[in-house]
Amino acid sequence: MINVTKTYLPNKEKYKKYIDEIYENGWLTNNGPLVQRLEKRLAEYLGVKNIVLVSNGTVALEIAYRTLGLKGFVITTPFSFVATTSSLVTNQLLPIFADIDQNSFNLDPRNIEKLITPNTSAILPVHVFGNACEVEDIEQIAKKHDLKVIYDAAHAFDVKYKDQSVLNYGDISTLSFHSTKLFHSIEGGALIINDDELVQKARYLINFGIKNAEEIPHLGTNAKMNEFEAAMGLCVLDDIEEIKQKRKVIVENYSKELKGLVQFQEQNENATENYSYFPVVCDSEEQLLKVQKALGEKDIFPRRYFYPSLDTLEYIEPKQECKISRDISKKILCLPIYAELEKNIQEEIIKIIKDTI
């Protein structure tokens, strides 16, 4: 069975050495030495000032909203994983959807300003499939209207925009380190925050709001990463360049062989790629379903990602319609991509698509 992705597992003996260290010191959670080590190494690798590790990518978003004190409406994209929207709703924030760009699949900055009201507190764009948003245009709009910007950068690990980390843009960027991601720590996530005062507030919030043994200044939660997850992260980080290179070869192969048959995502020309996903857009939903069926018959399972468009969710009020997002979501398919995907499987996937389309 070939799924859309496969978790990268590092050398077992290397991981075991970290586990032995955990057993020796008995420190399993609460900002342990491996979490501290991973934060330091990731900050250096990614080129960011401050990074706060948390238990998953969804809680990273929630901590970001609370750190910035968001209220009311948040303008966001309907073309994302459901957590981008559900995390807003569960924090009593109302998602206001701005439609996406037909080619980049990212929130289109031209659709933002007309949706801003006195109740709007922030903009929440997504670097879709790791493709950098038009961060300068979004920053200009946010400054003009005194809005906060949080980037859902779950897919944008090690993406650079104009020679610096794209994670440095906005007030806060969040990452997911779920086991399906390019870089993972089994579960996990992170907040990238430039403001040192906000970093300290975020650290209180992920530990129940506790400042010290006698002070609890904030309403917090338990969002800490544990030592076993940090150990996995340290191992995977050692191999990340090799992982990226292998995925790059697969992307180049798909791109070469499928050019002209399907629509590819248009990459931001000022940004680098990290080869996290390989989405293709078919001519119609009917064509997509044929391709999906043909691949499934060979035990190859791509993913309709992202589907459905989030503006169609039943629990979202008021009802909103984003035509481009709805259209793309019905026709998009992410093909299998992971470091160990064999060349013969890649060729079989390509052949099936060519024969079906």
And the tokens for 216? 């609890």
Q: Which domains does the chain have, with CATH numbers?
A: 2-234 (3.40.640.10), 240-356 (3.90.1150.10)
Q: Is the peptide bond before 308 cis (omega within 30 degrees of 0)?
A: yes
Residues whose CB falls within 8 Å of the CB of residue 311, separated by 6 or more in sequence, listed in order: 78, 97, 319, 320, 321, 322, 325, 326
Marked catalytic residue, from 181, 201, 224, 244: 181
Rounded to whole angstroms, the Cα distance separating 157 from 32 reads 23
Indicate the pTM of the whole model: 0.97
Q: Is the peptide bond before 78 cis (omega within 30 degrees of 0)?
A: no
- Determine the residue type at 241: E
Q: Which pLDDT tens digit goes with each residue over 270-313?
A: 999 999 999 999 999 999 999 999 999 999 999 999 999 999 99
Task: Check residue 271 and report its DSSP letter.
Answer: B
Known catalytic residue at 181: yes
pLDDT in tens, the chain (357 residues): 999 999 999 999 999 999 999 999 999 999 999 999 999 999 999 999 999 999 999 999 999 999 999 999 999 999 999 999 999 999 999 999 999 999 999 999 999 999 999 999 999 999 999 999 999 999 999 999 999 999 999 999 999 999 999 999 999 999 999 999 999 999 999 999 999 999 999 999 999 999 888 899 999 999 999 999 999 999 999 999 999 999 999 999 999 999 999 999 999 999 999 999 999 999 999 999 999 999 999 999 999 999 999 999 999 988 999 999 999 999 999 999 999 999 999 999 999 999 999
Residues whose CB falls within 8 Å of the CB of residue 105, separated by 6 or more in sequence, listed in order: 79, 128, 129, 131, 265, 279, 328, 332
What 3-state class would DSSP assign to 266? coil
